[in-house]
Amino acid sequence: MGARNIEPDGEVVAIRGAVVDVRFAGAALPKIDEAVRIRRADGGGVMIEVQAHLDAATVRGIALQDTAGLRRGARAERIGGPVEVPVGEAVLGRLLDVTGRPGDAKGELPPDVKRSPIHRPPPPFRARAGASEMFHTGIKVFDLLTPLAQGSKAAMFGGAGVGKTVLVMELIHAMVASYEGISVFSGVGERSREGHELLVEMTAAGVLGRTVLVYGQMNEPPGARWRVPLTALTIAEHFRDEAQRNVLLLMDNVFRFVQAGAEVSGLLGRLPSRVGYQPTLGTEVAELQERIASTGAASVTAVEAVYVPADDFTDPAVTTIAAHVDSMVVLSRAMAADGMYPAIDPVASSSILLDPLVLGEEHVRVANEVRRAIEHYRGLQDVISLLGMEELGREDRQIVERARRLQRFLTQPFTVTEAFTGIPGRSVPVDETIRGCKAILAGECDDWDEAALYMVGTLDEARQKQAAGRDAA
């Protein structure tokens, strides 16, 4: 059997970019999603994943690595199953690619490292556990309006340049500092610069030892970007199922996963569906998202960034991903333009966990009052811009002033932006956030300067800022 694994049993008959056709003469064909390794003339190898059976002897596969240097007639050997990636303690603190090869300067992984296939069914429904323990991030607007529980999924939707990656980086900082579990970060189709920055920051923070970084970046073939979330998820599932440890899975950016799937679909000659997306869009997203779950003793909790093309929230990729998440965090370009960071839209963002049975009556009541006040203010903005605040009734003016103060109180300086802003980052317990919002809604801050509430942590800090401003005046 050992000799069978190293003997070539196929040859390359066609190469078109990332699409490779392999003929297996006189042998059973590898199954769909099985891996085949092709040997280069220089001794290296290229992994492809079988996507179609063209005839009784030929398969068509998508390359997970660069095909430059491959030639027709190259020898191909069957792996005997899907791509297998290293899992377990050995991968902690490492940066891996889609096939599990290290991409850092720390040498090769030990040869006896355990490996798992990247294609696995989701846990059965009966094995799943409901969300119980809340997952506090220390980010005020996140914890108040879009709470996250262990085993749940939160997605941050936003167009280009509204702060998705910064928010993901801050969540990594906030959570890894206080979180005792494992973190797995999956960079899907992102810039190399961002990956390098994250690696440097995690090393400096001393948290890399509990983290695994898995990258399939912009410059890599579509097959790598398409499969890298499954590699990250396989590593997360091992820690959940085998080591019984809670895992935080961070993905930036899930839209690039969909985009890579569309590229693969086009390369394979499938007819496009709505807006040019692949006809298998719903299935591909479901296969990824349904594997993120709690099973008894441990859970995989996901925080995903989702790029919204041209700020169009009706885009099929966006609506498909949104159907699978528990907390939907919507980033607003208008708020970013006004300097309200994090630019999370309190009205458009939502969470199924915002329930009195999960969070308690007070949290849900305050969250709803905050949302209602800001929504009321937005409804009056046209009147204010045309006629001014003086034309509003006394009650409307009071709501508008409190809504403006709430918006400013929900801003927060981040640790990851400290180098640019000069303001140290803040982490705020959810009880302090609720207390501050209640005070503003009750009118305790009606005579305060709005600027005192901008970019602070707790209400006590804003009070000190207000007092210092008065003394200076």
How many other CB atoms sit within 10 Å of the CB of residue 12? 23
**164 belongs to an annotated ligand binding site:** yes
Using the Cα atoms of residue 62, residue 66, residue 121 and residue 252 in order, give the sign of their dihedral: negative
Asked if 105 contacts 224 with a C-beta cutoff of 8 angstroms, the reply is no
Q: Which of 49, 84, 190, 220 is catalytic?
A: 190
The token pair that represents 148 in the structure block? 């996250």
DSSP track, 84-105: EEE-SGGGTT-EE-TTS-B-SS
* Terminal Cα-to-Cα distance of the chain (whole angstroms): 84
Q: Give the active site residue among 60, 78, 140, 164.
A: 164
The answer to the question of whether 216 is labelled as a binding residue is no
Establish whether 163 is an annotated binding residue.
Answer: yes
443 assigned ligand-binding residue: no
Rounded alpha-carbon distances, angstroms, from residue 396 to 367, 379, 393, 403 = 20, 11, 5, 10
Catalytic residue among 31, 191, 274, 470: 191
Place of tokens 């930036």: 252
Determine contact, residues 251/243, Cβ cutoff 8 Å.
no
- Residue burial 62-94, b: 16+ Cβ < 10 Å; e: rest: bbbbebeebeeebbbbbbeebbbbbbbeebbbb
CA distance 272 to 261: 11
Does the annotation count 190 as an active-site position?
A: yes
160 is in an annotated binding site: yes
Supply angle C-alpha 67, 187, 214, rounded to 5: 75
* The two three-digit tokens of residue 463, written as one number: 């009070």
Q: Is 77 a catalytic residue?
A: no
Long-range contacts of 361-368, Cβ-Cβ distance < 8 Å, separation of 24 or more:
362/434, 363/144, 363/147, 363/430, 363/434, 366/144, 366/434, 366/437, 366/438, 366/441, 367/144, 367/145
Annotated catalytic residue 140:
no
Peptide bond into 342 cis (omega under 30): yes
3-state helix/strand/coil string of 167-182:
HHHHHHHHHHHHCCCE
Tokens of 445: 């801050």
Helix extents (H) in 124-186? 140-145, 164-178
CA 213 to chain centre: 13
Which residues are catalytically annotated?
Answer: 164, 190-191
Binding residues: 158-165
Binding residues for ATP: 158-165
